[in-house]
Amino acid sequence: MTHTCKNLLIRCMDFRLNSEIERWTKESELFEGGFDVVSIAGACKNLADGSEEIKENFLGNVAVSVDLHQAEKIIIFHHSDCGAYAQSYQFSSAEEEKEQQIEDMKKAKEIILEKYPKVEVILVFGIMEDGEGREVDFDIIKN
């Protein structure tokens, strides 16, 4: 195979984050060796709490990157003020939303590692400092 990449970024589709994610992927060492992108509302929300059909569809996208492009690292990115989470939950604070999303990212990581135990999975939470996505603080979540 002549076209491979080292990484897969699973991110929320929220358009407000596009510029900052582009900047982050260029500046961060996490993406050295190139990366595929899976962009879906809520990032891994549906992998953590969706139906089996949704989970299989989601993992099919991961399979393309890992099996076909030989990705060795998966970066899961969630963010504050996420509309997909707002539709499902009534959070009393930004911290409560963050805690729920981190819990879902950890569940998604477990599901991915069950199927792909040799990949490295990194969890990142982005805090939108201005509410518009023009300034995002990218924090790696320690497990």
pLDDT per residue as tens digits for the range 64-110: 999 999 999 999 999 999 999 999 999 999 999 999 999 999 999 99
C-alpha to C-alpha distance for 28 and 22, rounded to whole angstroms:
10
Amino acid (one-letter) located at 74 = I
How confident is the model at residue 125, as a pLDDT? Answer: 97
Q: CA 17, 95, 113, 31: dihedral to nearest 10 degrees?
A: 30
The position carrying tokens 């139906």 is: 51
How confident is the model at residue 124, as a pLDDT? Answer: 98
Q: Which spans in the chain are helix H?
A: 18-27, 45-49, 52-63, 83-88, 94-115
Domain boundaries in the chain?
7-140
Classify the phi-psi angles of 139: left when phi > 0, otherwise alpha if psi is within -120 to 50, otherwise beta: beta
The position carrying tokens 């939470």 is: 125
User: What is the pTM (predicted TM-score) of this model?
Assistant: 0.94
Question: Under CATH, which architecture does the 7-140 domain have?
Answer: 3-Layer(aba) Sandwich (3.40)
pLDDT per residue as tens digits for the range 21-57: 999 999 999 999 999 999 999 999 999 988 899 899 9
Q: Are residues 20 and 77 in contact, defined by beta-carbon separation less than 8 angstroms? A: no
How confident is the model at residue 50, as a pLDDT? Answer: 82
